[in-house]
């Protein structure tokens, strides 16, 4: 008797369900994608107990006749692929024909559908067809999934708690609403509305429905294209930061995807605008010829591969970098009144997955008021560069002509020997003297280190640096980096370097300490990249060479510091992404002191 047998279809579907259906969100994902492929303009997702008890998805799409309604639960049954070459020109969200049979094999499913001519109701329990009956003729499809994983107790056991499962579903539906602003989405859990969009095809309106008005006001529209890719969407001002990647929504040809490379391109574009462990809020739509992407990598179809990834990287980096460089990015320190137990708080933080009572009328009213205002995301008009004689100061000077991105500020005092208070016709500014000086020095050092022929100076007394044997062996392999920086050395016995000359820019700091920090970076880098190496050194040396908190500086030093800051390419943050400057507008000050009551 043969030991190899054809697997039973119900068993095969249960095995496939292990890949396709991992949690409640996967069920919602597959059903919503089918609804979109069915040309729906309205999709309702109703959950009971975060989907563990029941998931119901209703759409107004083209529907199915009785034959297709039954056939849809057969494995690899699909209307989206007819021949092999279609796999390389996929325009639909679904195409594998595995989702419905996989879901039906681990739950109780009821399908009601009508194409406007015939109505059909199909009931399947655990992969077994129970009944096929006529139904009403309301065009569209309703699929109800109950008792998910009831016949696979191990999978049921490993579902997360209800709030976690609900957060997964909410996050996915939010992203699909961002991908298809022309479709009306409604998500409820235990009859409580969590999301409702109007299908008006306004992406910013959907962002407002999801994140709220305080975030919407801080979103910046972007768009760009090259021969292979077209991108558009919204990015947040750097002051809006998240501690995880969840708020970066990536959409490729309408499909929600996960791609760590693209997320890295986005965060690299925010380099020095935000800290390394923080992430912006981004909605990025990528349009590309389907032949340049492979979506058939994983059954969930959320991981895809790109051709010509370098051109996509260049496009994303160029568009985001140029947009950030065109803006005035000074955070507003003003207080915002929130209708929440009559309290007042600073509204700068987005808190996800906080399921508050949905108030559609309030959201709509706030957004309409927001739309009436004219938002100016353009850079402020440039002034004639301020010319001043060089003065003796600890501030690093640059020789390039100024390129001001902020208006001239006039210092009026120092608070706690750390924060400079300044003013101009627009309002009041608080400047962190260390962060500001750090930004000035960082850009100076980065420019000097990029010089292929750095100017060097001989040391009167050579500096002797000793190292453990393991570090010295790594250093010997990378001595060319010291040559590139303009550091002249000689080996002085085993495990010792004698430094005889250094680049001129290094004389501005504690030379020996700076040299040790540079060498520490060299020996500690496993995945070495020259550009990041130079950036790391510039940031490290700039920090050590800058004015510190609690350092009292004179009025003249404040004036020079603010002028040098204005000339920086990015005067708004230090190299580590902390803000250098915040502002209170004149109107904000008048509100705080009740001079302006509106």
CA distance 363 to 211: 11
User: Could you say which of 3.30.230.10, 3.30.1240.10, 3.40.50.200, 1.10.150.20 is the CATH number of the domain covering 218-325?
Assistant: 3.30.230.10
**In terms of Cα–Cα distance, which of 424, 404, 387, 409 is closest to 325?**
404
Asked whether the predicted pLDDT for residue 391 surpasses 50, the reply is: no
Q: In the predicted model, is pLDDT for residue 463 greater than 50?
A: yes
Rounded to two decimals, the pTM is 0.76
The mean per-residue pLDDT over the stretch 183-207 comes to 93
Model confidence over 279-306: pLDDT tens digits?
Answer: 999 999 999 888 887 765 555 556 677 7
Predicted local confidence at residue 353, as pLDDT: 42
47 has pLDDT over 90: yes
Q: Is 540 helix (H, G, I), strand (E, B) or coil?
A: helix
pLDDT score of 89 more than 70 = no
In this prediction, residue 396 carries a pLDDT of 42
User: Which has the higher per-residue pLDDT, 540 or 199?
Assistant: 199
* DSSP SS3 for 157: helix
At 72 the pLDDT is 83
Q: Residue 442 in contact with residue 542, Cβ under 8 Å?
A: yes
Residue 207 has pLDDT above 50, yes or no: yes
| Between residues 95 and 232, the one the model is more confident about | 232
Q: Give the three-state DSSP class for 487.
A: coil
Residues 6+ apart with CB under 8 A from 437: 394, 395, 396, 546, 547, 561
Listed range (122-126, 135-139, 141-145, 184-188) with the worst mean pLDDT = 135-139
pLDDT over 90 percentage in the chain: 34
- Weakest-pLDDT range from 253-267, 358-372, 467-481, 559-573: 358-372
Band of pLDDT at residue 347, cut at 50, 70 and 90 = very low
Summary count for the chain: helices (H), strands (E): 18, 24
Note whether 247 and 233 are within 8 A (CB): no
Confidence of residue 344 (pLDDT cuts 50, 70, 90): very low
Report the alpha-carbon distance of residue 485 to residue 452 in Å, rounded: 8
Answer with the residue of higher pLDDT: 112 or 96: 112
- φ, ψ for residue 428 (rounded to 5)? -110, 145
- Which tens digits make up the pLDDT trace of 393-447? 344 444 344 457 888 999 999 999 999 999 999 899 999 999 999 999 999 888 8
Q: What average pLDDT does the segment 31-38 reach?
A: 90
Helices within 212-326 (DSSP H only):
213-216, 260-269, 309-325
Task: Quote the CA–CA distance of 182 and 202 in Å, as a whole number.
Answer: 7
Average of pLDDT values for 149-154?
Answer: 77
- Architecture (CATH level 2) of domain 380-598: 2-Layer Sandwich (3.30)
Confidence of residue 32 (pLDDT cuts 50, 70, 90): very high
Residue 108, token pair as written in the block: 């109780």
Structure tokens given for 76:
């690899």
Is the model's pLDDT at 505 over the cut of 80?
Answer: no
- Which is more confident, 156 or 471? 471
Task: For residues 369-381, give the mean pLDDT.
Answer: 50
Q: Which pLDDT does position 476 carry in this prediction?
A: 84
Residues 99-138 have pLDDT tens digits of 788 888 888 999 999 988 899 999 999 888 899 999 888 8
Residue range 363-387: mean pLDDT, rounded: 52
* pLDDT, the chain, mean: 80
Distance between CA atoms of 406 and 327, rounded to whole angstroms?
Answer: 9
CA atoms within 13 A on the CB side of 174: 23
CATH topology for 9-196 is Heat Shock Protein 90 (3.30.565)
Ranges of each domain in the chain: 9-196, 218-325, 380-598
């Amino acid at each position: 008797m043969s030991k190899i047998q054809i697997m039973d279809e119900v068993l095969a579907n249960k095995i496939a369900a292990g890949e396709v259906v991992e949690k409640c969100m996967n069920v919602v994902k597959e059903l919503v994608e089918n609804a979109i492929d069915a040309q729906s303009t309205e999709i309702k997702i109703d959950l009971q107990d975060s989907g563990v008890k029941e998931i119901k998805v209703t759409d107004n799409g083209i529907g199915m006749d009785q034959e297709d309604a039954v056939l849809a639960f057969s494995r690899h049954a699909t209307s989206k692929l007819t021949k092999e070459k279609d796999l390389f020109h996929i325009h639909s969200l679904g195409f594998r024909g595995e989702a419905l049979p996989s879901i039906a094999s681990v739950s109780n499913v009821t399908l009601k559908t009508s194409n406007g001519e015939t109505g059909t109701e199909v009931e399947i329990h655990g992969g077994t067809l129970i009944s096929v009956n006529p139904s009403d003729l309301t065009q569209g499809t309703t699929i109800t999934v109950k008792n998910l994983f009831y016949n696979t107790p191990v999978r049921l056991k490993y579902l997360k708690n209800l709030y976690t499962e609900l957060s997964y579903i909410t996050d996915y539906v939010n992203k699909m609403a961002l991908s298809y602003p022309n479709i009306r989405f409604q998500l409820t859990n235990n009859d409580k509305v969590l999301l409702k969009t109007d299908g008006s095809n306004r992406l910013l309106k959907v962002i407002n429905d999801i994140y709220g008005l305080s975030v919407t006001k801080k979103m910046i529209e972007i768009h760009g294209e090259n021969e292979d890719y077209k991108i558009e969407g919204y990015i947040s001002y750097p002051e809006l930061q998240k501690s995880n990647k969840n708020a970066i929504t990536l959409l490729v040809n309408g499909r929600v995807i996960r791609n760590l490379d693209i997320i890295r391109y986005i965060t690299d574009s925010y380099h020095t605008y935000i800290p390394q462990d923080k992430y912006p809020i981004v909605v990025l739509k990528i349009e590309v010829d389907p032949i340049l992407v492979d979506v058939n990598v994983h059954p969930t179809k959320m991981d895809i591969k790109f051709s010509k990834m370098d051109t996509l990287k260049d496009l994303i980096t160029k568009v985001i970098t140029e947009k950030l460089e065109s803006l005035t990015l000074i955070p507003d320190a003003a207080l915002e009144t929130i209708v929440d137990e009559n309290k007042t708080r600073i509204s700068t933080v987005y808190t996800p997955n906080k399921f508050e009572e949905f108030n559609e009328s309030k959201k709509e009213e706030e957004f309409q008021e927001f739309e009436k205002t004219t938002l100016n995301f353009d850079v402020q008009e440039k002034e004639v560069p301020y010319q001043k004689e060089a003065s003796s100061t600890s501030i690093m000077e640059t020789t390039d002509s100024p390129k001001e991105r902020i208006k001239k500020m006039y210092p009026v005092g120092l608070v706690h020997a750390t924060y400079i208070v300044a003013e101009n016709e627009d309002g009041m500014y608080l400047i962190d003297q260390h962060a500001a000086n750090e930004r000035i020095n960082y850009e100076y050092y980065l420019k000097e280190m990029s010089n292929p022929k750095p100017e060097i100076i001989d040391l009167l007394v050579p500096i002797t640096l000793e190292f453990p044997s393991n570090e010295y062996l790594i250093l010997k392999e990378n001595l060319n980096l010291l040559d590139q920086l303009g550091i002249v050395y000689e080996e002085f016995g085993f495990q010792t370097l004698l430094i005889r000359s250094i680049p001129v820019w290094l004389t501005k700091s504690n030379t020996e300490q700076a040299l040790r920090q540079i060498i520490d970076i060299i020996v500690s880098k496993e995945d070495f990249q020259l550009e990041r190496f130079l950036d790391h050194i510039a940031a490290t040396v700039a920090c050590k060479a800058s004015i510190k908190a609690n350092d009292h500086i004179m009025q003249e030093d404040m004036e020079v510091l603010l002028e040098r800051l204005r000339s920086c390419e990015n005067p708004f943050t230090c190299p580590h992404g902390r803000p250098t400057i915040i502002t209170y507008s004149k109107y904000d000050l008048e509100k705080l002191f009740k001079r302006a009551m509106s």
